[in-house]
């Protein structure tokens, strides 16, 4: 559906007489320019997808892939070196994916039953370009990343259930696993309260670990060779605590008992299902830790 464009005088009149209608008009013009999606008419035995990152976005896109593929297998072609506008300090700056991140991700996704192939995009024919969600008119600072894909591709999926399955690292059964990227740090949260607890393990970049080690001296670092190893650590943990970062996306997909540091400027990650908690304030953060450690 296309909306009529107003001439300059009509726009000026609308802007001065009905601000809400004028905002709706500007939004409608953006909707006019949305890309079209060619939906499959009948299910296929093999469905090809393309994605350019970030890593967390890929994890949150998997439920939509499952819904679109139905019972078919999935090929995922990852487009490296693409520039993506980011807020804050992202490890890859303004690049979504590189060869190393694809190599790290491949073992995790290859283990999932419905995935047949994960490779680098080299102009293969695709059925669905998952990057298209960035062109839609969502407020990308709010809501739920997985549901942006649902809205784009007219599908749904039960996000209360796990959408990743990995073997548990049993050595983590009594551990609190922590991840905190340098993006999306709430100024109201002080992680130093964790130093009074034992069996603390950090997953993530070594630079991130050093920052956390400075405030939690008894924190240990878990080095991993790939994201399957990271996911196994998270799956085996007694409790996972993290901010809006890739490790939390894994914890959410696994439904590990988890606590999410919700960033007030960009609350676009929402725990769903059992044992998913979020915190934005220090007293609630400390209360949740105490309660969950006692319960789990």
Distances (CA, A) of 189 to 116, 194, 243: 41, 11, 11
- β partners of residue 241: 178, 259
pLDDT of residue 140: 83
Whole-model pTM: value is: 0.90
Q: What are phi and psi of 215, to 5 degrees?
A: -110, -15
Cα 49 to Cα 39: distance, rounded to the nearest angstrom: 12
pLDDT computed for residue 107 by the predictor: 98
User: What is the rounded radius of gyration, in angstroms, for the C-alpha atoms of the chain?
Assistant: 21
**Beta carbons within 8 Å of 233's beta carbon, 6+ residues apart:** 169, 172, 177, 201, 203, 222, 224
Compute the residue count for the chain.
Answer: 296
Q: pLDDT of the chain along its 296 residues, tens only?
A: 455 777 777 777 678 888 887 777 667 766 677 788 999 988 899 999 999 989 999 999 999 999 999 999 999 999 998 887 766 666 766 788 999 999 999 999 999 999 999 999 999 999 999 999 888 888 888 889 999 999 999 999 999 999 999 999 999 999 999 999 999 999 999 999 999 999 999 999 999 999 999 999 999 999 999 999 999 999 999 999 999 999 999 999 999 999 999 999 999 999 999 999 999 999 999 999 999 999 98
Q: What share of the chain is helix, strand, coil (3-state, %, to 5)?
A: 40, 15, 45
Q: What pLDDT, on the 0 to 100 scale, is given for residue 29?
A: 66
Output the furthest CA–CA distance in the chain (Å, rounded): 70
Map tokens 């919700």 to a residue: 262
Q: Which of 191, 204, 182, 200 is nearest to 248 (CA)?
A: 204
For position 209, what pLDDT does the model report?
Answer: 98
| CA gap 161, 152 in Å, rounded | 21
Looking at residue 13, its pLDDT comes to: 65
What pLDDT score was predicted for residue 261? 98
Per DSSP, helices labelled H in 33-137 are 55-69, 99-110
pLDDT of residue 16: 84
């Amino acid at each position: 559906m296309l909306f009529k464009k107003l001439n300059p005088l009509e726009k000026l009149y609308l802007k001065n007489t009905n601000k809400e209608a004028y905002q709706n008009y500007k939004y409608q013009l953006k909707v006019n320019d949305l890309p079209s999606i060619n939906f499959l008419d009948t299910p296929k035995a093999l469905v090809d997808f393309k994605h350019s990152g970030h890593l967390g976005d890929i994890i949150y896109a998997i439920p939509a892939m499952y819904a679109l593929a139905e019972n078919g297998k999935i090929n995922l072609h990852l487009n490296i070196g693409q520039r993506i506008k980011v807020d804050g300090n992202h490890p890859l700056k303004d690049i979504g994916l590189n060869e190393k991140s694809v190599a790290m991700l491949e073992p995790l996704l290859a283990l999932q039953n419905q995935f047949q192939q994960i490779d680098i995009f080299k102009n293969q024919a695709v059925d669905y370009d998952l990057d298209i969600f960035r062109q839609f008119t969502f407020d990308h600072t709010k809501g739920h990343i997985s549901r942006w894909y649902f809205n784009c591709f007219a599908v749904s999926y039960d996000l209360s259930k796990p959408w990743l399955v990995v073997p548990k690292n049993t050595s983590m059964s009594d551990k609190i696993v922590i991840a905190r990227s340098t993006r999306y740090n709430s100024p109201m949260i002080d992680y130093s309260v964790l130093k009074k607890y034992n069996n603390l393990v950090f997953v993530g970049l070594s630079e991130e670990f050093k920052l956390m080690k400075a405030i939690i001296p008894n924190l240990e670092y878990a080095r991993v060779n790939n994201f399957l190893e990271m996911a196994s650590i998270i799956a085996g943990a007694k409790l996972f605590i993290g901010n809006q970062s890739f490790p939390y996306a894994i914890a959410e997909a696994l439904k590990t008992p988890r606590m999410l540091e919700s960033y007030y400027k960009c609350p676009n990650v929402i725990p769903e299902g059992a044992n998913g908690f979020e915190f934005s304030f220090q007293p609630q953060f400390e209360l949740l830790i105490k309660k969950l450690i006692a319960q789990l």
